[in-house]
Chain A
């Protein structure tokens, strides 16, 4: 079987202690929560951190607090199974519960955490491969691979090595593949980032950036400790996921919609966020604007959905043909909008 490379393992008991360790180790260390993404990738030598700092022993990093009226606080170490099955949370934000509940398989959801899901590495068919495979194609920008040393540590961009998807360019197009991030962005969630230097709170949307390598704005020395969700307050949410099979598969398109309607059905607020089509969850503001202030009709919804077709520009680095994924974007947006408004 594939073997893990050697690494040091630390299990601090508090977030502060973990933050201190991160500061001391610098970029050589990597946080691990459920490990469902970290370990498989280490086995493929996509990165080889010197030290892993586990968040598993930090009791205060797990749990769901709050209520429908006050809003919720999700501790980052809460498992996806808990997020998917929490009764008041899933009533307030069915879209979030749905997204958490379609991640991978039941077994992985028992291990995987919501924090890990939000910080999930981007994916690419040229990157999520074994060392031997990547060596065969002579590496790529995101995983430069062997050069003199056996295996290279993580997060080392090497621009002299081309991207295999778009060899002419100077960037990595690896795909944001987290199921819950689009919903968090659509809900206007805030994330709490803690480091040895202090704490900051930013909107989930600002956690992500359009770069397959540095896909989060979170610094390597920061820990995502909490996610704050505003009161549901009449917001309706849903999440639709395109994938080949009913289990296991990452989203190759994820559509999160959150919207509010007035008594007379007029849409007063709307967020449409797509995952799986770019290196970050993409919000379709134009489509949102077309809906706000309108009463939804089938024609309007179809028209609005069609506007995501152009800007949805997946690359050929996941499952399915690109054109198919692009074509599915409006279909899924339409279906999500119909589900919430009918």
Chain B
């Protein structure tokens, strides 16, 4: 169906919560206060790695204004986001694993008192050597950061998979290209610092308000650690001021305040400071990568071997998934007939890494797209044509068993190249100026839940009352991405109303049905499908009631513009409210439900759980840069970004997500770094001023091109846009720097000193490249051999 036929879908209507946000009236977690509330502060470890010998809280307890001082001994149960990463204590009591690791919590009458009391807690540590680098973690199994978790030594996870015959493919290649890359870690930097408020009521029930992207998983962690039944816990996620993956895990501070509230019988509040947010982290993994790909002279890929080494920080977090993600989606943009992936994630004494926008895929995407740029040059093929020559087919299975449904990548590539005049500009803008190209693809929701179960991933309830008021209930949490608007728009479209007329009740585990959370770009597709089903069910009820009154067959009834009418004779109609009243008289209470469960994953091998998605979004990007060869400064002049959205639910939100992704990508490629003073094991600059993230002054104009090929599995054909558009931007900038200066920076961020170093090498007649030169020897197991899908076997014979 074309967009014009919709009344609200795809229209650039304002966000339903936009005015409240723009005028500062949205109530975030930190804005909520309860009578008699106490304030909590956490005492954090000053050491990167140490045994805790003793904790003496007696002085702190006597400090006037302090109600309780809490240590970890009373909450010994371990938790973590994934079943495989139950390796965190709410408060550490055996050992600390990074500077900033929480060891005690104080509840006091105000924040100042709690902070001062923390200073009075005496912790005796036995300092252990800190493991601060990927190399160290691979080479040193002692001291172990986790005695009981991971894959032995300081390895958090190690995997090896092979699909098809990689060696054979490489032998058949005319060109085998081998590269190493490093992607530095960086963090989410949401404007809202994590805040939470816990209230344990006299009836033995606990309520937690928290700025989280995953109230359902927080709910589970609270029950596990506090050892109270889930039925006695309620988790509410107020509107969240930015997440980007940084609020996807259950956190120490949430559990600690819940326990403090149980101990004091008073509500307890905590708001992290900015440096604490840096310590909570769960951001982008630093990844050292190696890739070897075989190509035919005409540019077709014969085989690929990819290795990734992830610096996981002190905990598992989403790390197992992150590890697989660094190897999963390479095959979703280009046909790879044989593919081998080896991945290792290590523990280090730094704040834990986890998911950040693009979770585990921006790093390999950067590597791959720069790798291809080098190959294109060697083969004398335009980078755009190289991608087109290897383009995946819609409705196909990849060699690693991922089901591609709709694919607008060809249109993305062609349109973005046209709009930017890429082919005309490449190599011709003069020294210092250049253009670069890259593509990317991302999942529209993980096909599997985080803990194994067969139940729906998202459910929506809709209630209509006799005044015609419509309320939609959903567990989704709006972290700024606009899920509230998506929900309201879908329900409004189906019921013939306007989005701002739909009342929303969201992200409250007591009042709303399940949604797994705002992560993995799953919400529009999954909640959207559940909302379509619920609204369609409600529509049926209303149509049935109206059909009797209007004396028109039910399949001729339509809802639009507040009216319920006969499609064949629109004059025969009634107001929406009237239909609601008729329906309630006839059927009683008006309620409808919908749910969504993703299709079964096509692969069955161990590790096939990461990568499958109901659908994949596609993007292509051209970046134009102006580099100053004297200072090494890289200025991005313009970004063209084409994104295969399937269908916009709200076009303004889609463009907003594209621009936000571009902004975040530019920070990662040009300046952002989680830097540590390795000797001291401490984050170099945990502050908003010194952790450099771009300002509006660094933001170039962005030309967004939307490709709308409806996706059969998406609500109204929609796919994701929250994460995918970030992916191609990073390599596009890196490739543009090469076009401008003829130097390869195989390590991001591209800071000016690296550019100058590469130019120096060039001037000395050496290889003009800055980047890693080797990879450590990781103990990868023999690869698990996976048979490629049938269609690949026949294709292989025809192409090779």
Q: A residues near B, CB below 8 A?
A: 1-3, 5-6, 125, 128-130, 132-133, 135-137, 146, 150, 244-249, 319-321, 323-324, 327-328, 331
Q: Are A3 and B115 in contact (CB-based, < 8 A)?
A: yes
Q: Are A132 and B46 in contact (CB-based, < 8 A)?
A: yes
A328 contacts across to B, CB distance below 8 A: 631
Q: Are B689 and A136 in contact (CB-based, < 8 A)?
A: no
What's the minimum C-beta distance from A157 to chain B, rounded to whole angstroms?
22
On whether A136 and B690 interact (CB within 8 A), knowing A1-B271, A2-B273, the answer reads: no
**Option from B119, B271, B687, B753 in Cβ contact (under 8 Å) with A323:** B753
What's the minimum C-beta distance from B679 to chain A, rounded to whole angstroms?
10
A137 contacts across to B, CB distance below 8 A: 677, 680, 682
B685 contacts across to A, CB distance below 8 A: 125
In this complex, what residue of B is CB-closest to A137?
A: B680
In this complex, what residue of A is CB-closest to B681?
A: A136
The reply on B232 being an interface residue by CB < 8 A is no
**Option from B111, B274, B677, B680 in Cβ contact (under 8 Å) with A3:** B111
Nearest 7 CB-CB pairs, A to B?
A246-B697, A136-B46, A324-B753, A247-B695, A244-B692, A321-B753, A3-B112
Chain A to chain B contacts (Cβ below 8 Å), 26 pairs: A1-B193, A1-B271, A1-B273, A2-B274, A3-B115, A125-B685, A128-B687, A129-B275, A129-B687, A130-B687, A133-B682, A133-B683, A135-B46, A136-B99, A137-B680, A150-B119, A245-B671, A246-B698, A247-B696, A248-B689, A249-B689, A320-B752, A320-B753, A324-B752, A324-B753, A324-B756
What is the predominant secondary structure among interface residues of chain A facing chain B?
loop
The distance in angstroms between the C-alpha atoms of A129 and B46, with both chains bound, is 13
The reply on B454 being an interface residue by CB < 8 A is no
Q: Give the size of the chain B interface in residues (CB under 8 angstroms).
A: 39
A6 contacts across to B, CB distance below 8 A: 112
Q: Are B116 and A319 in contact (CB-based, < 8 A)?
A: no
In this complex, what residue of A is CB-closest to B116?
A: A150
A244 contacts across to B, CB distance below 8 A: 671, 692
The distance in angstroms between the C-alpha atoms of A249 and B275, with both chains bound, is 18
A133 contacts across to B, CB distance below 8 A: 275, 682-683, 686
Q: Are B680 and A245 in contact (CB-based, < 8 A)?
A: no
Q: B residues near A, CB below 8 A?
A: 44, 46-47, 99-100, 111-112, 115-116, 119, 193, 271, 273-275, 630-632, 671, 677, 680, 682-687, 689-690, 692, 694-698, 751-753, 756
Q: Are A136 and B112 in contact (CB-based, < 8 A)?
A: no
B682 contacts across to A, CB distance below 8 A: 133, 136-137
Task: Beyond the given A1-B193, A128-B690, A249-B689, please list 15 additional residue pairs across the A-B interface where CB-CB is below 8 A.
Answer: A1-B111, A1-B271, A125-B690, A129-B275, A129-B687, A132-B100, A132-B275, A135-B46, A136-B47, A146-B119, A244-B671, A245-B697, A320-B752, A323-B753, A324-B756
What's the minimum C-beta distance from B40 to chain A, rounded to whole angstroms?
13
A321 contacts across to B, CB distance below 8 A: 751, 753
The distance in angstroms between the C-alpha atoms of A320 and B687, with both chains bound, is 16
Q: Are A327 and B756 in contact (CB-based, < 8 A)?
A: yes
In this complex, what residue of B is CB-closest to A146?
A: B119
The distance in angstroms between the C-alpha atoms of A324 and B687, with both chains bound, is 22
Q: Are B753 and A125 in contact (CB-based, < 8 A)?
A: no
**Option from B631, B683, B751, B753 in Cβ contact (under 8 Å) with A331:** B631
What's the minimum C-beta distance from A194 to chain B, rounded to whole angstroms?
32
A132 contacts across to B, CB distance below 8 A: 44, 46, 100, 275
The distance in angstroms between the C-alpha atoms of A221 and B671, with both chains bound, is 42
The distance in angstroms between the C-alpha atoms of A129 and B119, with both chains bound, is 17
In this complex, what residue of B is CB-closest to A331?
A: B630
The distance in angstroms between the C-alpha atoms of A207 and B202, with both chains bound, is 64
What's the minimum C-beta distance from A61 to chain B, rounded to whole angstroms?
28
Q: Are A245 and B753 in contact (CB-based, < 8 A)?
A: no
The distance in angstroms between the C-alpha atoms of A111 and B274, with both chains bound, is 23
In this complex, what residue of B is CB-closest to A321?
A: B753
B47 contacts across to A, CB distance below 8 A: 136
**Option from A130, A150, A324 in Cβ contact (under 8 Å) with B275:** A130
On whether A319 and B115 interact (CB within 8 A), knowing A125-B684, A132-B46, A248-B695, the answer reads: no
Most chain A beta-carbon contacts within 10 A, residue among B47, B683, B690: B690
A128 contacts across to B, CB distance below 8 A: 687, 690
**Option from B273, B684, B698 in Cβ contact (under 8 Å) with A245:** B698
The distance in angstroms between the C-alpha atoms of A1 and B274, with both chains bound, is 7
What's the minimum C-beta distance from B436 to chain A, rounded to whole angstroms?
22
The distance in angstroms between the C-alpha atoms of A280 and B692, with both chains bound, is 25
Q: Are B695 and A245 in contact (CB-based, < 8 A)?
A: yes
In this complex, what residue of B is CB-closest to A135?
A: B46
What's the minimum C-beta distance from B109 to chain A, rounded to whole angstroms?
13
**Option from B99, B193, B683, B692 in Cβ contact (under 8 Å) with A319:** B692
B100 contacts across to A, CB distance below 8 A: 132
What's the minimum C-beta distance from B117 to chain A, rounded to whole angstroms?
10
Q: Are A130 and B273 in contact (CB-based, < 8 A)?
A: yes
In this complex, what residue of B is CB-closest to A323?
A: B753
What's the minimum C-beta distance from A334 to chain B, rounded to whole angstroms?
9
In this complex, what residue of A is CB-closest to B680?
A: A137
The distance in angstroms between the C-alpha atoms of A312 and B720, with both chains bound, is 51
What's the minimum C-beta distance from B46 to chain A, rounded to whole angstroms?
4
B115 contacts across to A, CB distance below 8 A: 3
The distance in angstroms between the C-alpha atoms of A179 and B753, with both chains bound, is 23
In this complex, what residue of A is CB-closest to B100?
A: A132
The distance in angstroms between the C-alpha atoms of A137 and B271, with both chains bound, is 25
What's the minimum C-beta distance from A308 to chain B, rounded to whole angstroms?
15
In this complex, what residue of A is CB-closest to B692?
A: A244
What's the minimum C-beta distance from B177 to chain A, rounded to whole angstroms?
31
The distance in angstroms between the C-alpha atoms of A128 and B680, with both chains bound, is 17
Q: Are A245 and B119 in contact (CB-based, < 8 A)?
A: no
The distance in angstroms between the C-alpha atoms of A321 and B755, with both chains bound, is 13
Most chain B beta-carbon contacts within 10 A, residue among A5, A125, A136, A137: A136
A323 contacts across to B, CB distance below 8 A: 753
A146 contacts across to B, CB distance below 8 A: 119
A5 contacts across to B, CB distance below 8 A: 112
A3 contacts across to B, CB distance below 8 A: 111-112, 115
The distance in angstroms between the C-alpha atoms of A314 and B112, with both chains bound, is 37
B684 contacts across to A, CB distance below 8 A: 125
A331 contacts across to B, CB distance below 8 A: 630-631
Most chain B beta-carbon contacts within 10 A, residue among A135, A244, A319: A244
The distance in angstroms between the C-alpha atoms of A254 and B753, with both chains bound, is 18
In this complex, what residue of B is CB-closest to A151?
A: B119
In this complex, what residue of A is CB-closest to B44?
A: A132
The distance in angstroms between the C-alpha atoms of A175 and B377, with both chains bound, is 46
The distance in angstroms between the C-alpha atoms of A150 and B121, with both chains bound, is 12
The distance in angstroms between the C-alpha atoms of A6 and B44, with both chains bound, is 23
What's the minimum C-beta distance from B596 to chain A, rounded to whole angstroms?
39
What's the minimum C-beta distance from A182 to chain B, rounded to whole angstroms?
19
